[in-house]
Amino acid sequence: EAGVTQFPSHSVIEKGQTVTLRCDPISGHDNLYWYRRVMGKEIKFLLHFVKESKQDESGMPNNRFLAERTGGTYSTLKVQPAELEDSGVYFCASSQGHQPQHFGDGTRLSIL
């Protein structure tokens, strides 16, 4: 079984530019989560999809962040325009039912 896949693994962009992160969950997993870890701090929740619907987006920092999950399969997280404080590692996780969440290896985002 393929795990959660995230692309790109690393992205370096300048402040003000746009970046789009992609997550492919484990096949058949209805739940998809985005998390972020900034500078060695705790991993913080951003938002939760159930299939294609946003179940909870209470962790999204501001309206520069836009997440989509068209068709209930893969998800994208777009940051536009990127700011310096957006740097960090963005993790995607998926789960089904009451099973634990499985995480991807993350996208390391560096804003210069």
For another protein, the binding residues (CB under 8 A) are 4, 6, 31, 33, 35, 40-45, 48, 50, 56, 59, 91, 93, 95, 97-106
CB of 52 to another protein, least distance (A): 16
CB of 79 to another protein, least distance (A): 20
CA distance 100 to 92: 13
SS3 label, residue 26: coil
CA distance 21 to 67: 9
In what helix (H) or strand (E) does residue 90 lie, and over which residues does it extend?
strand 88-95
CB of 81 to another protein, least distance (A): 26
Which of residues 9 and 18 has its CB atom nearest to another protein in the complex?
A: 9
